[in-house]
Chains A and B, each alone.
Chain A
Amino acid sequence: NAGVTQTPKFRILKIGQSMTLQCAQDMNHNYMYWYRQDPGMGLKLIYYSVGAGITDKGEVPNGYNVSRSTTEDFPLRLELAAPSQTSVYFCASSYGQGNTGELFFGEGSRLTVL
């Protein structure tokens, strides 16, 4: 009964370092999303995917990259970490069609860039 699993839960990076946030879901959902949550700002969409091999930019994609080689996995890559990327990152998935859009969220990954 795993649902959406994110790793790591916490990470501290130095400016300019790179890292990948992992996201995996076991519900056979076609749609996957990456959001960032900043205090008092709600959630902003970074990237999303409608199926394996297909990705698209969301509202705040700069400084990030994604890939979707399998239905289950949707990693988020930060290439040159900047303090502005300090945030809590949430991965989510959705079955999509016929489901009226309910998203299932992971527990989040808290990233600090110093």
Chain B
Amino acid sequence: GDSVTQMEGPVTLSEEAFLTINCTYTATGYPSLFWYVQYPGEGLQLLLKATKADDKGSNKGFEATYRKETTSFHLEKGSVQVSDSAVYFCALTLRGSNYKLTFGKGTLLTVNP
């Protein structure tokens, strides 16, 4: 079945460090890809998305590029801040699936000052 694999956490960085969180997927069709973020004590919220190959999603300094050839959607940020500390989830949805999301297990990011 469809699945999302993302790098195990936790990830601990110093402020202004470069961030990469790897995400790869397996899908029977042509998925749309998402990164969601969950701040402490809150629900998930959409960070960025990409709906077709080579699309780049971006928001709040985060970027991810839809790579069909490597079935990947890695999340990057050039300079993290303490306020970026959260759990990050990679997810996919397939056309015709009633927009159901399949999630990765999540990666906890902690940014220290």
Contacts and interface: CB of A to CB of B under 8 A. Distances in A.
Interface of A: 4, 31, 33, 40-43, 45, 48, 50, 56, 58, 90, 92, 94, 96, 99-103, 105-108
A105 B44 contact: yes
Interface of B: 4, 32, 34, 41-46, 49, 51, 89, 93, 98-101, 103-106
B43 A48 contact: no
21 contacts: A4-B43, A31-B98, A31-B99, A33-B100, A40-B106, A41-B105, A42-B4, A45-B100, A45-B101, A50-B98, A56-B98, A92-B44, A96-B98, A96-B99, A100-B32, A100-B51, A103-B46, A105-B43, A105-B44, A105-B45, A107-B43
Contacts, number: 58
A101 B99 contact: yes
A41 B99 CA distance: 20
Q: Which of A41, A43, A58 has the most CB of B within 10 A?
A: A43
A43 B89 contact: yes
A33 to B, nearest CB: 7
B29 to A, nearest CB: 13
Given A100-B32, A105-B43, A105-B45, A42 B105 contact: yes
Given A96-B98, A99-B99, A107-B43, 20 more contacts: A33-B101, A42-B89, A45-B101, A48-B98, A48-B100, A50-B98, A56-B98, A58-B100, A92-B43, A100-B49, A100-B51, A101-B32, A101-B34, A101-B93, A102-B34, A103-B99, A105-B44, A107-B41, A107-B42, A108-B42
